[in-house]
């Protein structure tokens, strides 16, 4: 561990750890729980951050701009959302290049236990949904451009119609912002209308920039506002109880408003905050028309609700076993993992009911180098996965690869 520890130190760990702990200790710990029809992460994001260091990922990869620079930043890339299964797909696709680099640098490829991998996934998931820290200078301009200063002061400078936003400097996370903006939007909207001000809209990372600026305005000791870990399960209940479900569908269920399922939501929480804000007037009008009271949220409730919406999207609907069987054949897995045990690799029927993205990623890291060796001997290219193929493959393996056809097990 000393080598890793040294690297970690040389990489300004203190800064990274501070930054990440602030986020990770925030509301983004993913709770586990059944339901949703997908695969849940039973991991601990904070422990996962340690895994990220201990296994040496940080030597090559950065998260949120801190760490190694020789491989993609795992918080940033790629731009769209990535389900847990697609994350395994990405690791799988890049694995041979990664192992090659490790070989060149004489770093052993790390082995994982499944719980370590779960923690790592929870960590990567947290940092991905946090996005990059905002640009404070840009945030300062935005307060002016969006005309917030006509009603709000920041540290005494600005309007007086609304509260001084400096009090917000202690809110470290965008969830508190979404919650406040949501609760106060009707009053703000009324006053803006009165003054002939347009409803300001936020694009891209602008909410993150704004938060970054306001956070520079603290005086004295910072009041830390830590939230309890969010619970997607509680969020599922709130989605109905607060009336969101009356208008919004999730994954194709019909609603009177945009579907909030898989693809519709942005990648980061602060982008989500912007979205809620932008749509607030139209939503409010539609609530008034439908005679639905506008729900109010506590911080914890908003965190739960967002955890639910994000988890729904992260844990894609389960895959399709028939398509998975085809993936298994086309990628050549079947040529080594024959059900009768006559191939170069072990039969995978024993994985029945045990496959999760984390289990598969664990197998990839632990057995992949030997697999790659075998493929090279057979002059077989390393199979690559398209988005969506991994989740189908998982479904097939979960039903007992190969055994299904013979025994027709499980519905």
* By CB under 6 A, residue 391 contacts ligand HEC: no
Residues linked to residue 363 through DSSP beta bridges, in sequence order: none
Pick one of 6, 21, 111, 282: the residue that binds ligand HEC (CB under 6 A). Answer: 282
Task: By CB under 6 A, tell whether 187 contacts ligand HEC.
Answer: yes
Asked if 184 touches ligand HEC (CB under 6 A), the answer is yes
Minimum Å gap between C-beta 210 and ligand HEC is: 6
Nearer to ligand HEC, 278 or 411 (CB): 278
Q: Which of 15, 18, 37, 72 binds ligand HEC (CB under 6 A)?
A: 72
| Chain residues 145-174 in contact with ligand HEC, contact rule CB under 6 A | 146-148, 150-152, 161-163, 167-168
Give min distance, CB of 199 to ligand HEC, in A: 9
Instruction: Give the number of C-alpha atoms closer than 13 A to the C-alpha of residue 122, restricted to the C-beta side.
Output: 28
Q: Which is nearer to ligand HEC, 25 or 120 (CB)?
A: 120
Q: How far apart are CA 275 and CA 350, in angstroms?
A: 45
Q: How far is the CB of 338 from ligand HEC (least distance, A)?
A: 10
In whole angstroms, how close is the CB of 64 to ligand HEC at the nearest point? 14
Which residues touch 326 (CB under 8 Å, ≥6 apart)? none
What is the C-alpha to C-alpha distance for residues 73 and 64, in angstroms, rounded to an integer? Answer: 7
Nearest to 75 by CA among 57, 93, 97, 92: 57
To ligand HEC, the closest distance from the beta carbon of 408 in angstroms equals 22
Q: Of the two residues 33 and 54, which places its CB atom closer to ligand HEC in the complex?
A: 54
**Which residues have a Cβ under 8 Å from the Cβ of 143 and sit 6 or more positions away?**
149, 152, 154, 158, 165, 210, 213
Comparing CB distances to ligand HEC, the nearer of 25 and 356 is 356
Decide if residue 317 touches ligand HEC (CB under 6 A): no
Residue from 218, 318, 335, 352 in contact with ligand HEC (CB under 6 A): 335
In the complex, minimum distance from the CB of residue 345 to ligand HEC, in angstroms, rounded to a whole number: 3
User: In angstroms, how far is CA 40 from the centroid of its own chain?
Assistant: 12
Kindly give the interhelix angle for 206-215 and 269-289, rounded to the nearest 10 degrees.
110
Q: How is 377-401 classified by DSSP, letter by letter? A: HTT-PPP---TTHHHHHHHHHHTTT
Q: Which of 20/275 has CB closer to ligand HEC?
A: 275
Q: Which residues contact 241 (CB under 8 A, 6 or more apart)?
A: none
Q: Would you say 228 or 288 has its CB closer to ligand HEC?
A: 288
Q: Output DSSP code: residue 349.
A: G
Window 77 to 116, contacts with ligand HEC (CB under 6 A):
77-78, 90-91, 94, 97-98, 101-102, 105, 107, 110
CA distance 153 to 163: 7
327 vs 411, which CB is nearer to ligand HEC?
327
Residue 74 token pair: 């795992």
Is residue 197 a contact residue for ligand HEC (CB under 6 A)? yes
| 300 near ligand HEC, rule: CB under 6 A | no
Among 22, 264, 317, 338, binds ligand HEC (CB under 6 A): 264
The CA-CA-CA angle for residues 53, 56, 61, to 5°, reads 85
Q: Which is nearer to ligand HEC, 24 or 275 (CB)?
A: 275
- Here's the x/- map for ligand HEC, 345-384, by CB under 6 A: it reads as xx-x--------------x---x--xx--xx--x-x--x-
Q: Which of residues 231-260 bind ligand HEC (CB under 6 A)?
A: 242-244, 246-248, 256-258
Q: How many CA atoms lie within 13 A of 329 on its CB side?
A: 7
CA 171 to chain centroid, in Å, comes to 20
# residues contacting ligand HEC (CB under 6 A)? 83
The closest alpha carbon to 401, from 331, 337, 342, 356, belongs to: 337
């Amino acid at each position: 561990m000393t080598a890793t520890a040294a690297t970690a130190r040389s990489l300004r760990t203190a800064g990274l750890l501070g930054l990440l702990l602030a986020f990770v200790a925030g509301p983004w710990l993913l709770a586990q729980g059944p339901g949703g029809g997908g695969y849940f992460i039973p991991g601990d994001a904070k422990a996962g951050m340690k895994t990220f260091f201990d296994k040496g990922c940080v030597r090559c990869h950065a998260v949120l701009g801190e760490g190694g620079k020789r491989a993609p930043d795992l918080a940033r890339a790629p731009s769209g959302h990535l389900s847990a299964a697609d994350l395994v797909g990405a690791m799988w696709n890049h694995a041979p290049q990664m192992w090659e680099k490790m070989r060149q640098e004489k770093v052993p490829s790390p082995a994982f236990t499944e719980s370590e991998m779960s923690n790592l996934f929870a960590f990567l998931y947290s940092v991905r949904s946090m996005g990059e820290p905002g640009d404070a200078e840009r945030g300062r301009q935005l307060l002016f451009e969006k005309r917030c200063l006509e009603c709000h002061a920041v540290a005494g400078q600005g309007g007086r119609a609304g509260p001084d936003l400096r009090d917000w400097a202690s809110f470290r996370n965008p969830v508190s912002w979404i919650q406040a903006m949501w609760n106060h939007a009707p009053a703000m909207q009324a006053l803006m209308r009165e003054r002939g001000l347009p409803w300001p809209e936020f694009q891209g990372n602008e909410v993150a920039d704004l938060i970054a600026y306001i956070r520079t305005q603290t005086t004295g000791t910072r009041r830390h506002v830590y939230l309890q870990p969010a619970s997607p399960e509680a969020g599922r209940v709130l989605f109905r109880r607060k009336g969101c479900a009356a208008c919004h569908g999730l994954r194709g269920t019909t609603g009177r408003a945009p579907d909030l399922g898989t693809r519709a939501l942005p990648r980061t929480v602060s982008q989500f905050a912007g979205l809620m804000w932008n749509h607030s007037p139209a939503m409010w009008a539609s609530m008034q028309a439908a005679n639905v009271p506008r729900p109010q949220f506590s911080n914890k409730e908003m965190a739960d609700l967002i955890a639910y919406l994000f988890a729904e999207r992260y844990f894609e609907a389960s895959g399709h076993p028939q398509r998975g069987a085809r993936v298994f054949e086309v990628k050549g897995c079947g040529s080594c993992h024959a059900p009768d045990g006559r191939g170069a690799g072990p039969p995978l029927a024993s994985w029945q009911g045990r496959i999760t993205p984390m289990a598969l990623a664990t197998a990839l890291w632990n057995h992949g180098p030997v697999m790659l060796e075998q493929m090279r001997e057979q002059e077989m290219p390393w199979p690559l996965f398209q988005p969506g193929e991994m989740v189908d493959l998982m479904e097939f393996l979960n039903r007992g690869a190969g055994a299904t056809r013979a025994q027709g097990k499980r519905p």
